[in-house]
Structure 1
Protein backbone atom coordinates (compact mmCIF):
# COMPACT_ATOMS: atom_id res chain seq x y z
CA UNK A 1 0.00 0.00 0.00
CA UNK A 2 1.13 3.54 -0.76
CA UNK A 3 0.58 6.67 1.32
CA UNK A 4 2.16 9.01 -1.24
CA UNK A 5 -0.62 8.67 -3.80
CA UNK A 6 -3.65 10.96 -3.82
CA UNK A 7 -6.91 10.79 -5.74
CA UNK A 8 -7.86 13.94 -7.68
CA UNK A 9 -10.95 14.76 -9.75
CA UNK A 10 -9.50 17.29 -12.14
CA UNK A 11 -10.29 18.92 -15.45
CA UNK A 12 -8.65 17.34 -18.50
CA UNK A 13 -7.46 20.73 -19.66
CA UNK A 14 -5.40 21.14 -16.50
CA UNK A 15 -3.78 17.75 -17.03
CA UNK A 16 -2.97 18.51 -20.65
CA UNK A 17 -1.31 21.77 -19.67
CA UNK A 18 0.51 20.09 -16.79
CA UNK A 19 2.05 17.52 -19.14
CA UNK A 20 3.96 20.28 -20.94
CA UNK A 21 6.07 21.24 -17.90
CA UNK A 22 6.62 19.76 -14.48
CA UNK A 23 5.86 23.05 -12.71
CA UNK A 24 2.42 23.69 -14.24
CA UNK A 25 0.62 22.44 -11.11
CA UNK A 26 1.86 23.32 -7.66
CA UNK A 27 0.04 22.66 -4.38
CA UNK A 28 0.86 25.10 -1.57
CA UNK A 29 -0.42 26.33 1.78
CA UNK A 30 -1.91 29.83 1.89
CA UNK A 31 -3.70 31.81 4.58
CA UNK A 32 -7.46 31.33 4.45
CA UNK A 33 -9.04 34.79 3.93
CA UNK A 34 -11.94 34.03 6.30
CA UNK A 35 -10.27 32.13 9.14
CA UNK A 36 -6.59 32.94 8.73
CA UNK A 37 -5.73 29.23 9.04
CA UNK A 38 -3.60 27.24 6.56
CA UNK A 39 -5.56 26.00 3.54
CA UNK A 40 -4.47 23.98 0.53
CA UNK A 41 -4.47 25.79 -2.83
CA UNK A 42 -3.13 24.91 -6.25
CA UNK A 43 -1.36 27.23 -8.68
CA UNK A 44 -1.68 26.49 -12.37
CA UNK A 45 0.05 27.83 -15.47
CA UNK A 46 3.08 29.22 -13.61
CA UNK A 47 0.99 30.94 -10.96
CA UNK A 48 -1.45 32.76 -13.24
CA UNK A 49 -4.46 30.74 -12.04
CA UNK A 50 -5.47 29.77 -8.52
CA UNK A 51 -7.55 26.78 -7.41
CA UNK A 52 -8.93 25.88 -4.01
CA UNK A 53 -8.49 22.24 -3.02
CA UNK A 54 -11.70 20.84 -1.58
CA UNK A 55 -11.15 17.58 0.26
CA UNK A 56 -13.77 14.89 0.94
CA UNK A 57 -12.61 12.39 3.56
CA UNK A 58 -14.39 9.33 4.90
CA UNK A 59 -13.14 6.67 7.27
CA UNK A 60 -12.30 3.16 6.05
CA UNK A 61 -11.82 4.12 2.41
CA UNK A 62 -9.05 3.12 -0.02
CA UNK A 63 -8.44 3.27 -3.76
CA UNK A 64 -7.29 0.60 -6.19
CA UNK A 65 -4.92 2.27 -8.67
CA UNK A 66 -3.77 -0.14 -11.37
CA UNK A 67 -2.20 -3.00 -9.42
CA UNK A 68 -1.57 -1.07 -6.21
CA UNK A 69 -3.71 0.00 -3.25
CA UNK A 70 -3.76 3.60 -2.08
CA UNK A 71 -4.65 3.64 1.61
CA UNK A 72 -5.31 7.40 1.46
CA UNK A 73 -8.99 7.35 0.52
CA UNK A 74 -9.47 11.11 0.36
CA UNK A 75 -10.87 12.81 -2.73
CA UNK A 76 -9.41 16.16 -3.81
CA UNK A 77 -11.47 18.43 -6.04
CA UNK A 78 -9.77 21.63 -7.31
CA UNK A 79 -12.17 24.54 -7.92
CA UNK A 80 -11.25 27.88 -9.47
CA UNK A 81 -11.16 30.79 -7.04
CA UNK A 82 -10.70 34.51 -7.57
CA UNK A 83 -7.30 35.40 -6.05
CA UNK A 84 -8.63 38.81 -5.00
CA UNK A 85 -10.36 37.10 -2.06
CA UNK A 86 -6.96 36.11 -0.67
CA UNK A 87 -5.44 39.53 -1.35
CA UNK A 88 -8.16 41.58 0.39
CA UNK A 89 -7.03 40.83 4.01
CA UNK A 90 -3.46 41.94 3.22
CA UNK A 91 -4.57 45.15 1.53
CA UNK A 92 -7.08 45.92 4.28
CA UNK A 93 -4.44 45.45 6.96
CA UNK A 94 -1.48 47.25 5.35
CA UNK A 95 -2.84 49.60 2.68
CA UNK A 96 -5.86 51.28 4.23
CA UNK A 97 -4.11 54.59 4.90
CA UNK A 98 -1.34 54.67 2.28
CA UNK A 99 -0.42 53.22 -1.10
CA UNK A 100 2.21 50.45 -1.06
CA UNK A 101 3.66 48.35 -3.90
CA UNK A 102 2.01 44.95 -4.00
CA UNK A 103 5.35 43.14 -3.79
CA UNK A 104 5.84 44.67 -0.34
CA UNK A 105 2.30 43.82 0.81
CA UNK A 106 1.98 40.18 -0.16
CA UNK A 107 4.70 38.98 2.18
CA UNK A 108 3.85 36.44 4.85
CA UNK A 109 6.56 34.69 6.85
CA UNK A 110 4.19 31.89 7.81
CA UNK A 111 3.11 31.36 4.20
CA UNK A 112 6.07 32.07 1.89
CA UNK A 113 4.10 31.17 -1.26
CA UNK A 114 1.87 34.23 -0.74
CA UNK A 115 4.13 36.23 -3.03
CA UNK A 116 2.89 34.08 -5.94
CA UNK A 117 -0.45 35.90 -5.70
CA UNK A 118 1.21 38.95 -7.26
CA UNK A 119 1.24 37.31 -10.69
CA UNK A 120 -2.40 36.22 -10.26
CA UNK A 121 -3.90 39.61 -9.47
CA UNK A 122 -1.67 41.80 -11.64
CA UNK A 123 -2.88 39.99 -14.74
CA UNK A 124 -5.60 42.11 -16.39
CA UNK A 125 -5.36 44.88 -13.77
CA UNK A 126 -7.74 43.10 -11.39
CA UNK A 127 -6.59 45.16 -8.43
CA UNK A 128 -8.45 48.18 -9.80
CA UNK A 129 -11.66 46.43 -8.62
CA UNK A 130 -10.70 46.69 -4.95
CA UNK A 131 -7.93 49.31 -4.73
CA UNK A 132 -6.76 52.66 -6.05
CA UNK A 133 -3.59 52.59 -8.13
CA UNK A 134 -0.84 55.19 -7.95
CA UNK A 135 2.10 55.29 -10.37
CA UNK A 136 5.53 56.80 -9.96
CA UNK A 137 7.69 55.89 -12.92
CA UNK A 138 7.83 52.10 -13.11
CA UNK A 139 6.59 51.71 -9.55
CA UNK A 140 2.94 50.89 -8.97
CA UNK A 141 1.43 51.25 -5.52
CA UNK A 142 -2.05 50.35 -4.32
CA UNK A 143 -4.32 51.68 -1.60
CA UNK A 144 -7.25 49.64 -0.34
CA UNK A 145 -10.65 51.04 -1.31
CA UNK A 146 -13.45 49.59 0.81
CA UNK A 147 -16.27 51.07 -1.27
CA UNK A 148 -14.88 49.50 -4.45
CA UNK A 149 -14.46 46.19 -2.65
CA UNK A 150 -18.03 46.13 -1.35
CA UNK A 151 -19.39 47.00 -4.79
CA UNK A 152 -17.30 44.23 -6.36
CA UNK A 153 -18.55 41.74 -3.77
CA UNK A 154 -22.15 42.89 -4.29
CA UNK A 155 -21.87 42.16 -8.02
CA UNK A 156 -20.40 38.75 -7.17
CA UNK A 157 -23.47 38.03 -5.03
CA UNK A 158 -25.86 39.08 -7.80
CA UNK A 159 -24.15 36.82 -10.35
CA UNK A 160 -24.23 33.93 -7.89
CA UNK A 161 -27.87 34.66 -7.06
CA UNK A 162 -28.84 34.21 -10.72
CA UNK A 163 -26.85 30.97 -10.92
CA UNK A 164 -28.54 29.59 -7.80
CA UNK A 165 -31.96 30.55 -9.17
CA UNK A 166 -31.32 28.66 -12.41
CA UNK A 167 -30.09 25.60 -10.52
CA UNK A 168 -33.13 25.70 -8.23
CA UNK A 169 -35.53 25.73 -11.20
CA UNK A 170 -33.83 22.81 -12.91
CA UNK A 171 -33.66 20.78 -9.70
CA UNK A 172 -37.35 20.94 -8.79
CA UNK A 173 -38.86 17.54 -8.32
CA UNK A 174 -42.02 16.55 -10.19
CA UNK A 175 -42.84 13.82 -7.68
CA UNK A 176 -44.29 16.21 -5.10
CA UNK A 177 -47.18 18.65 -5.46
CA UNK A 178 -46.53 21.73 -3.38
CA UNK A 179 -48.66 24.69 -2.54
CA UNK A 180 -48.10 27.83 -4.53
CA UNK A 181 -46.67 29.62 -1.50
CA UNK A 182 -44.05 26.92 -1.04
CA UNK A 183 -42.99 27.05 -4.68
CA UNK A 184 -42.45 30.80 -4.67
CA UNK A 185 -39.10 31.87 -3.21
CA UNK A 186 -39.26 34.76 -0.82
CA UNK A 187 -37.85 38.00 -2.14
CA UNK A 188 -34.12 38.17 -1.51
CA UNK A 189 -33.84 34.57 -0.32
CA UNK A 190 -31.47 33.49 -3.10
CA UNK A 191 -29.44 36.66 -2.62
CA UNK A 192 -29.11 35.72 1.05
CA UNK A 193 -27.76 32.30 0.06
CA UNK A 194 -25.32 33.95 -2.33
CA UNK A 195 -24.14 36.29 0.41
CA UNK A 196 -23.57 33.28 2.66
CA UNK A 197 -21.45 31.50 0.07
CA UNK A 198 -19.36 34.60 -0.65
CA UNK A 199 -18.93 35.12 3.10
CA UNK A 200 -17.03 31.83 3.30
CA UNK A 201 -14.13 33.76 1.75
CA UNK A 202 -14.47 36.92 3.84
CA UNK A 203 -13.72 37.95 7.38
CA UNK A 204 -16.67 38.27 9.73
CA UNK A 205 -16.38 42.06 9.83
CA UNK A 206 -16.30 42.38 6.03
CA UNK A 207 -19.21 39.94 5.70
CA UNK A 208 -21.35 42.14 7.96
CA UNK A 209 -20.37 45.24 6.01
CA UNK A 210 -21.34 43.50 2.77
CA UNK A 211 -24.72 42.53 4.24
CA UNK A 212 -25.38 46.15 5.19
CA UNK A 213 -24.18 47.33 1.78
CA UNK A 214 -26.58 44.95 0.01
CA UNK A 215 -29.44 46.00 2.28
CA UNK A 216 -29.95 42.99 4.51
CA UNK A 217 -31.29 43.36 8.02
CA UNK A 218 -29.07 42.62 11.00
CA UNK A 219 -30.87 39.32 11.56
CA UNK A 220 -30.15 38.12 8.03
CA UNK A 221 -26.51 39.18 8.20
CA UNK A 222 -25.87 37.03 11.28
CA UNK A 223 -27.60 33.90 10.03
CA UNK A 224 -25.48 31.12 8.62
CA UNK A 225 -26.23 30.16 5.05
CA UNK A 226 -28.15 26.99 4.26
CA UNK A 227 -27.46 25.03 1.13
CA UNK A 228 -30.24 24.38 -1.32
CA UNK A 229 -29.89 20.69 -0.58
CA UNK A 230 -30.72 21.28 3.09
CA UNK A 231 -33.69 23.46 2.15
CA UNK A 232 -35.07 20.84 -0.22
CA UNK A 233 -34.63 18.15 2.44
CA UNK A 234 -36.57 20.22 4.99
CA UNK A 235 -39.33 20.83 2.46
CA UNK A 236 -39.62 17.12 1.69
CA UNK A 237 -39.82 16.31 5.40
CA UNK A 238 -42.54 18.93 5.81
CA UNK A 239 -44.53 17.50 2.91
CA UNK A 240 -44.27 13.97 4.26
CA UNK A 241 -45.38 15.16 7.69
CA UNK A 242 -48.41 16.92 6.23
CA UNK A 243 -49.33 13.87 4.19
CA UNK A 244 -49.33 11.58 7.23
CA UNK A 245 -52.86 11.45 8.78
CA UNK A 246 -53.31 10.29 12.34
CA UNK A 247 -56.30 7.99 12.68
CA UNK A 248 -57.88 6.58 15.80
CA UNK A 249 -57.80 2.79 15.70
CA UNK A 250 -61.25 1.20 15.58
CA UNK A 251 -61.81 -1.25 18.38
CA UNK A 252 -63.28 -4.54 17.37
CA UNK A 253 -66.81 -5.12 18.66
CA UNK A 254 -66.89 -7.89 21.24
CA UNK A 255 -69.14 -10.69 20.16
CA UNK A 256 -72.30 -11.08 22.29
CA UNK A 257 -72.27 -14.35 24.21
CA UNK A 258 -75.27 -16.58 23.71
CA UNK A 259 -77.20 -17.53 26.90
CA UNK A 260 -78.30 -21.13 27.12
CA UNK A 261 -81.82 -22.21 28.13
CA UNK A 262 -80.50 -23.77 31.36
CA UNK A 263 -78.87 -20.49 32.42
CA UNK A 264 -82.10 -18.63 31.74
CA UNK A 265 -84.03 -21.06 33.93
CA UNK A 266 -81.59 -20.71 36.81
CA UNK A 267 -81.72 -16.94 36.59
CA UNK A 268 -85.50 -16.97 36.62
CA UNK A 269 -85.58 -19.29 39.66
CA UNK A 270 -83.16 -17.06 41.54
CA UNK A 271 -85.23 -13.96 41.03
CA UNK A 272 -87.03 -12.89 44.21
CA UNK A 273 -84.76 -14.83 46.55
CA UNK A 274 -82.41 -13.21 49.02
CA UNK A 275 -78.70 -13.65 49.01
CA UNK A 276 -77.00 -15.41 51.94
CA UNK A 277 -75.32 -12.18 53.04
CA UNK A 278 -78.72 -10.66 53.90
CA UNK A 279 -79.15 -13.00 56.91
CA UNK A 280 -76.14 -11.50 58.65
CA UNK A 281 -77.38 -7.93 58.43
CA UNK A 282 -79.03 -6.31 61.43
Structure 2
Protein backbone atom coordinates (compact mmCIF):
# COMPACT_ATOMS: atom_id res chain seq x y z
CA UNK A 1 0.00 0.00 0.00
CA UNK A 2 1.23 3.52 -0.72
CA UNK A 3 2.30 5.54 2.25
CA UNK A 4 0.09 8.43 3.32
CA UNK A 5 1.58 11.88 2.94
CA UNK A 6 0.46 14.81 5.08
CA UNK A 7 -0.73 17.79 3.06
CA UNK A 8 0.88 20.31 5.40
CA UNK A 9 4.27 18.63 5.29
CA UNK A 10 7.04 21.20 4.84
CA UNK A 11 9.75 18.68 4.04
CA UNK A 12 11.53 19.70 0.83
CA UNK A 13 11.07 17.39 -2.09
CA UNK A 14 14.41 16.55 -3.70
CA UNK A 15 14.22 16.30 -7.46
CA UNK A 16 16.38 13.73 -9.21
CA UNK A 17 18.84 15.18 -11.68
CA UNK A 18 18.03 14.34 -15.26
CA UNK A 19 19.87 14.97 -18.50
CA UNK A 20 19.03 15.10 -22.17
CA UNK A 21 20.93 12.53 -24.22
CA UNK A 22 20.76 11.82 -27.95
CA UNK A 23 21.44 8.15 -28.74
CA UNK A 24 20.96 6.13 -31.94
CA UNK A 25 17.67 4.31 -31.59
CA UNK A 26 19.17 1.04 -32.76
CA UNK A 27 21.51 1.01 -29.76
CA UNK A 28 18.81 1.16 -27.07
CA UNK A 29 15.60 -0.25 -28.56
CA UNK A 30 16.61 -3.90 -28.99
CA UNK A 31 17.30 -4.76 -25.36
CA UNK A 32 16.24 -8.32 -24.59
CA UNK A 33 15.04 -9.58 -21.24
CA UNK A 34 18.24 -11.47 -20.43
CA UNK A 35 20.56 -8.64 -21.51
CA UNK A 36 21.90 -5.69 -19.61
CA UNK A 37 20.81 -2.21 -20.55
CA UNK A 38 23.37 0.15 -22.11
CA UNK A 39 25.48 1.73 -19.41
CA UNK A 40 28.05 4.46 -19.09
CA UNK A 41 31.64 3.95 -17.99
CA UNK A 42 34.70 6.13 -17.69
CA UNK A 43 37.66 5.13 -19.85
CA UNK A 44 41.03 6.62 -20.65
CA UNK A 45 40.79 8.94 -23.64
CA UNK A 46 43.24 7.86 -26.38
CA UNK A 47 44.52 11.40 -27.01
CA UNK A 48 44.44 13.22 -23.68
CA UNK A 49 45.11 10.14 -21.50
CA UNK A 50 42.48 11.53 -19.10
CA UNK A 51 39.15 10.03 -18.10
CA UNK A 52 36.21 10.47 -20.48
CA UNK A 53 32.68 9.08 -20.62
CA UNK A 54 31.75 6.27 -23.01
CA UNK A 55 28.64 4.15 -23.44
CA UNK A 56 28.62 0.41 -24.09
CA UNK A 57 25.62 -1.09 -25.85
CA UNK A 58 23.42 -3.73 -24.24
CA UNK A 59 25.28 -6.63 -25.85
CA UNK A 60 28.65 -5.01 -25.09
CA UNK A 61 29.70 -5.30 -28.73
CA UNK A 62 29.88 -1.57 -29.54
CA UNK A 63 31.14 1.48 -27.72
CA UNK A 64 30.07 5.10 -28.22
CA UNK A 65 31.78 8.28 -27.12
CA UNK A 66 29.67 10.66 -25.01
CA UNK A 67 30.08 14.31 -26.01
CA UNK A 68 28.80 17.19 -23.92
CA UNK A 69 27.68 20.59 -25.21
CA UNK A 70 27.07 23.09 -22.44
CA UNK A 71 25.74 26.63 -22.22
CA UNK A 72 25.87 28.92 -19.19
CA UNK A 73 22.30 30.12 -19.67
CA UNK A 74 20.24 27.06 -20.49
CA UNK A 75 17.90 24.74 -18.62
CA UNK A 76 15.66 21.83 -19.59
CA UNK A 77 11.98 21.29 -18.91
CA UNK A 78 11.66 17.54 -18.25
CA UNK A 79 8.07 16.58 -17.48
CA UNK A 80 6.93 18.95 -14.76
CA UNK A 81 10.42 19.70 -13.50
CA UNK A 82 13.09 22.19 -14.45
CA UNK A 83 16.59 20.77 -14.72
CA UNK A 84 19.22 23.38 -13.93
CA UNK A 85 21.91 21.65 -16.00
CA UNK A 86 21.03 22.58 -19.57
CA UNK A 87 23.85 20.58 -21.14
CA UNK A 88 23.11 18.48 -24.20
CA UNK A 89 24.75 15.06 -24.40
CA UNK A 90 25.30 13.22 -27.65
CA UNK A 91 26.77 9.80 -28.42
CA UNK A 92 28.76 8.89 -31.49
CA UNK A 93 30.20 5.46 -32.37
CA UNK A 94 33.95 5.08 -32.00
CA UNK A 95 36.22 2.37 -33.32
CA UNK A 96 37.43 0.50 -30.20
CA UNK A 97 40.84 0.10 -31.83
CA UNK A 98 41.43 3.76 -30.97
CA UNK A 99 40.87 2.88 -27.30
CA UNK A 100 43.17 -0.14 -27.47
CA UNK A 101 45.97 1.71 -29.30
CA UNK A 102 47.43 3.55 -26.22
CA UNK A 103 47.60 0.28 -24.27
CA UNK A 104 49.20 -1.46 -27.23
CA UNK A 105 51.87 1.26 -27.54
CA UNK A 106 52.58 1.10 -23.82
CA UNK A 107 52.92 -2.70 -23.88
CA UNK A 108 55.33 -2.43 -26.80
CA UNK A 109 58.00 -1.12 -24.40
CA UNK A 110 58.57 -4.68 -23.26
CA UNK A 111 59.14 -5.82 -26.86
CA UNK A 112 57.18 -9.00 -26.18
CA UNK A 113 54.01 -10.49 -27.63
CA UNK A 114 51.18 -10.37 -25.10
CA UNK A 115 47.59 -11.55 -24.95
CA UNK A 116 44.87 -8.96 -25.29
CA UNK A 117 43.68 -9.22 -21.69
CA UNK A 118 47.26 -8.56 -20.55
CA UNK A 119 47.55 -5.53 -22.84
CA UNK A 120 44.21 -3.89 -22.00
CA UNK A 121 44.63 -3.62 -18.25
CA UNK A 122 44.29 -0.44 -16.21
CA UNK A 123 43.95 -0.07 -12.44
CA UNK A 124 42.59 3.49 -12.75
CA UNK A 125 39.95 2.47 -15.31
CA UNK A 126 39.07 -1.18 -14.66
CA UNK A 127 36.08 -1.04 -17.03
CA UNK A 128 38.52 -0.96 -19.94
CA UNK A 129 38.37 -4.77 -19.97
CA UNK A 130 34.97 -4.46 -21.66
CA UNK A 131 36.69 -3.17 -24.80
CA UNK A 132 37.96 -6.70 -25.44
CA UNK A 133 34.38 -7.92 -26.05
CA UNK A 134 33.68 -5.36 -28.80
CA UNK A 135 33.16 -6.77 -32.27
CA UNK A 136 35.69 -4.46 -33.93
CA UNK A 137 38.49 -5.93 -31.83
CA UNK A 138 38.63 -8.74 -34.37
CA UNK A 139 40.42 -6.24 -36.63
CA UNK A 140 43.31 -5.85 -34.19
CA UNK A 141 45.67 -7.25 -36.85
CA UNK A 142 45.33 -3.85 -38.60
CA UNK A 143 47.50 -2.22 -35.92
CA UNK A 144 49.48 -5.12 -34.46
CA UNK A 145 51.47 -8.22 -35.35
CA UNK A 146 50.24 -11.45 -33.82
CA UNK A 147 51.27 -15.00 -33.06
CA UNK A 148 49.36 -18.09 -32.01
CA UNK A 149 46.16 -19.77 -33.15
CA UNK A 150 42.44 -19.04 -33.02
CA UNK A 151 42.25 -20.06 -29.36
CA UNK A 152 45.18 -18.05 -28.02
CA UNK A 153 46.66 -15.05 -29.79
CA UNK A 154 49.46 -12.76 -28.68
CA UNK A 155 49.90 -9.27 -30.10
CA UNK A 156 52.61 -6.63 -30.45
CA UNK A 157 52.28 -3.05 -31.68
CA UNK A 158 53.20 -2.40 -35.32
CA UNK A 159 53.78 1.24 -36.27
CA UNK A 160 53.81 0.46 -40.00
CA UNK A 161 50.42 -1.25 -39.87
CA UNK A 162 49.04 1.49 -37.64
CA UNK A 163 50.06 4.27 -40.02
CA UNK A 164 48.52 2.36 -42.94
CA UNK A 165 45.31 1.89 -40.96
CA UNK A 166 45.17 5.55 -39.94
CA UNK A 167 45.87 6.64 -43.51
CA UNK A 168 42.90 4.57 -44.67
CA UNK A 169 40.75 6.24 -41.99
CA UNK A 170 41.82 9.72 -43.12
CA UNK A 171 41.19 9.02 -46.80
CA UNK A 172 37.74 7.55 -46.14
CA UNK A 173 36.86 10.51 -43.93
CA UNK A 174 38.01 12.92 -46.64
CA UNK A 175 35.78 11.15 -49.18
CA UNK A 176 32.75 11.46 -46.88
CA UNK A 177 33.45 15.15 -46.25
CA UNK A 178 33.48 15.82 -49.98
CA UNK A 179 30.39 13.67 -50.56
CA UNK A 180 28.46 15.51 -47.82
CA UNK A 181 29.52 18.89 -49.30
CA UNK A 182 31.34 19.92 -46.14
CA UNK A 183 33.71 22.69 -47.17
CA UNK A 184 37.29 22.01 -46.09
CA UNK A 185 39.08 25.02 -47.62
CA UNK A 186 40.15 28.27 -45.98
CA UNK A 187 37.55 29.83 -43.72
CA UNK A 188 34.33 28.32 -42.38
CA UNK A 189 31.73 28.20 -45.10
CA UNK A 190 29.34 25.77 -46.76
CA UNK A 191 30.31 24.56 -50.21
CA UNK A 192 26.87 25.63 -51.53
CA UNK A 193 27.85 29.28 -51.15
CA UNK A 194 31.27 28.94 -52.79
CA UNK A 195 30.91 30.61 -56.16
CA UNK A 196 34.48 31.14 -57.24
CA UNK A 197 36.58 28.25 -58.51
CA UNK A 198 39.49 29.70 -56.58
CA UNK A 199 37.64 28.88 -53.33
CA UNK A 200 37.05 25.21 -54.20
CA UNK A 201 38.68 22.83 -51.73
CA UNK A 202 41.45 20.62 -53.07
CA UNK A 203 42.19 17.00 -52.20
CA UNK A 204 44.89 18.15 -49.79
CA UNK A 205 42.35 20.43 -48.10
CA UNK A 206 40.05 17.49 -47.43
CA UNK A 207 42.94 15.31 -46.28
CA UNK A 208 44.15 18.08 -43.96
CA UNK A 209 40.66 18.48 -42.51
CA UNK A 210 40.20 14.72 -42.09
CA UNK A 211 43.63 14.40 -40.49
CA UNK A 212 42.57 16.91 -37.85
CA UNK A 213 39.46 14.86 -37.05
CA UNK A 214 41.37 11.57 -36.76
CA UNK A 215 44.12 13.24 -34.71
CA UNK A 216 41.54 13.89 -31.97
CA UNK A 217 41.76 10.17 -31.12
CA UNK A 218 45.50 9.52 -31.19
CA UNK A 219 48.40 10.95 -29.22
CA UNK A 220 50.06 14.10 -30.64
CA UNK A 221 53.34 12.36 -31.55
CA UNK A 222 51.55 9.76 -33.63
CA UNK A 223 49.44 12.53 -35.17
CA UNK A 224 52.58 14.30 -36.42
CA UNK A 225 53.97 11.07 -37.86
CA UNK A 226 50.66 10.48 -39.62
CA UNK A 227 50.80 13.96 -41.15
CA UNK A 228 54.22 13.22 -42.66
CA UNK A 229 53.09 9.76 -43.77
CA UNK A 230 50.15 11.25 -45.67
CA UNK A 231 52.47 13.63 -47.54
CA UNK A 232 50.04 16.54 -47.28
CA UNK A 233 51.45 19.72 -48.79
CA UNK A 234 51.64 22.64 -46.39
CA UNK A 235 49.23 25.41 -47.30
CA UNK A 236 51.08 28.62 -48.22
CA UNK A 237 49.26 31.90 -47.79
CA UNK A 238 49.10 34.08 -50.88
CA UNK A 239 51.40 37.13 -50.73
CA UNK A 240 51.29 40.39 -52.61
CA UNK A 241 53.47 40.26 -55.68
CA UNK A 242 53.21 43.92 -56.48
CA UNK A 243 55.40 46.07 -54.30
CA UNK A 244 54.01 49.38 -53.21
CA UNK A 245 55.93 52.46 -54.35
CA UNK A 246 57.92 53.85 -51.41
CA UNK A 247 57.24 57.41 -50.34
CA UNK A 248 59.41 60.16 -51.84
CA UNK A 249 62.61 60.73 -49.91
CA UNK A 250 64.47 63.98 -49.48
CA UNK A 251 68.22 64.32 -49.14
CA UNK A 252 69.20 65.37 -45.63
CA UNK A 253 71.54 68.35 -45.24
CA UNK A 254 74.39 68.24 -42.75
CA UNK A 255 72.61 70.54 -40.27
CA UNK A 256 69.65 68.18 -40.13
CA UNK A 257 67.15 70.35 -42.00
CA UNK A 258 65.14 69.13 -44.95
CA UNK A 259 65.79 70.64 -48.41
CA UNK A 260 63.11 72.45 -50.30
CA UNK A 261 63.50 70.23 -53.37
CA UNK A 262 62.81 66.51 -53.66
CA UNK A 263 66.00 64.86 -54.97
CA UNK A 264 63.91 62.26 -56.82
CA UNK A 265 62.89 65.03 -59.22
CA UNK A 266 66.44 65.33 -60.60
CA UNK A 267 68.24 63.19 -63.14
CA UNK A 268 71.62 61.60 -62.57
CA UNK A 269 73.36 64.54 -64.38
CA UNK A 270 71.81 67.10 -62.02
CA UNK A 271 69.18 68.43 -64.41
CA UNK A 272 65.61 68.62 -63.25
CA UNK A 273 63.30 65.84 -64.39
CA UNK A 274 60.54 67.87 -66.01
CA UNK A 275 58.71 64.80 -67.24
CA UNK A 276 58.35 63.52 -63.68
CA UNK A 277 57.03 66.96 -62.62
CA UNK A 278 54.45 67.00 -65.39
CA UNK A 279 53.29 63.52 -64.52
CA UNK A 280 52.73 64.49 -60.87
CA UNK A 281 51.16 67.95 -61.55
CA UNK A 282 47.50 68.48 -60.83
CA UNK A 283 45.03 70.02 -63.25
CA UNK A 284 45.16 73.37 -61.39
CA UNK A 285 48.96 73.47 -61.57
CA UNK A 286 48.90 72.74 -65.31
CA UNK A 287 46.36 75.56 -65.84
CA UNK A 288 48.52 77.96 -63.82
CA UNK A 289 51.48 77.34 -66.11
CA UNK A 290 49.50 78.64 -69.08
CA UNK A 291 48.91 82.04 -67.40
CA UNK A 292 51.02 84.97 -68.66
CA UNK A 293 53.39 85.81 -65.79
CA UNK A 294 55.00 88.91 -67.40
CA UNK A 295 55.59 91.58 -64.75
CA UNK A 296 54.70 89.27 -61.90
CA UNK A 297 57.00 88.88 -58.95
CA UNK A 298 57.70 85.67 -57.11
CA UNK A 299 56.08 85.44 -53.71
CA UNK A 300 59.49 84.87 -52.13
CA UNK A 301 60.58 88.36 -53.25
CA UNK A 302 58.26 89.95 -50.66
CA UNK A 303 60.17 88.26 -47.85
CA UNK A 304 63.70 89.08 -49.03
CA UNK A 305 65.71 92.07 -47.78
CA UNK A 306 65.41 95.22 -49.93
CA UNK A 307 68.46 96.06 -51.99
CA UNK A 308 70.37 99.25 -51.07
CA UNK A 309 70.44 101.92 -53.76
CA UNK A 310 73.81 103.48 -54.63
CA UNK A 311 73.82 107.30 -54.54
Q: Is the shorter-chain TM-score for this pair beyond 0.5, marking a shared fold?
A: yes
Indicate yes or no: 2:198 matched with 1:181.
yes
* 1:3 to partner: Cα distance: 4.8
SS at match of 1:143: strand
Quickly say closer, same or farther: Cα 1:20–1:57, change in 2 above 3 A: farther
SS of residue in 1 equivalent to 2:192: coil
TM-score by length of 2: 0.64
Aligned to 2:228: 212
Partners of 2:176 and 2:124 lie apart in 1 by 36
Q: For residues 21 and 66 of structure 1, what CA distance do their matches in structure 2 show?
A: 30
**Higher helix proportion, which one?**
1
Give the Cα–Cα distance (whole angstroms) in 2 for the partners of residues 20 and 189 of structure 1.
49
> Structure 2: how far apart are the matches of 1:147 and 1:100?
19
Give how far 1:4 is off.
2.3
Computed over aligned residues only, the root mean square deviation of the Cα atoms, in angstroms, reads 2.2
**1:14, distance to aligned residue in structure 2 (A):** 2.0
Structure 2 vs 1, CA of residues 188 and 157 (structure 1 numbering), >3 Å: closer, same or farther? same
Partner of 1:62: 75
Larger radius of gyration: 2
Change (3 A) 1:75 1:61: same
The corresponding residue for 2:214 is 198
Please give the alpha-carbon distance, in whole angstroms, between the structure 1 residues aligned to 2:35 and 2:56.
12
Checking the alignment, whether the CA contact within 8 Å between 1:153 and 1:210 is kept in structure 2 is yes
Unmatched 5+ stretches in structure 1:
221-282
Match of 2:87 in 1: 74
Partners of 1:155 and 1:119 lie apart in 2 by 24
- Aligned twin of 2:127: 113
Which residue is equivalent to 2:55? Answer: 42
Q: Secondary structure of the residue that 1:54 maps to in structure 2? A: strand
User: 1:172 — aligned with what?
Assistant: 191
Q: 1:130 to 1:109 in 2, by over 3 A?
A: same
**Counterpart among 9, 13, 16 of residue 26 in structure 2:** 13
SS in structure 2 at match of 1:17: coil
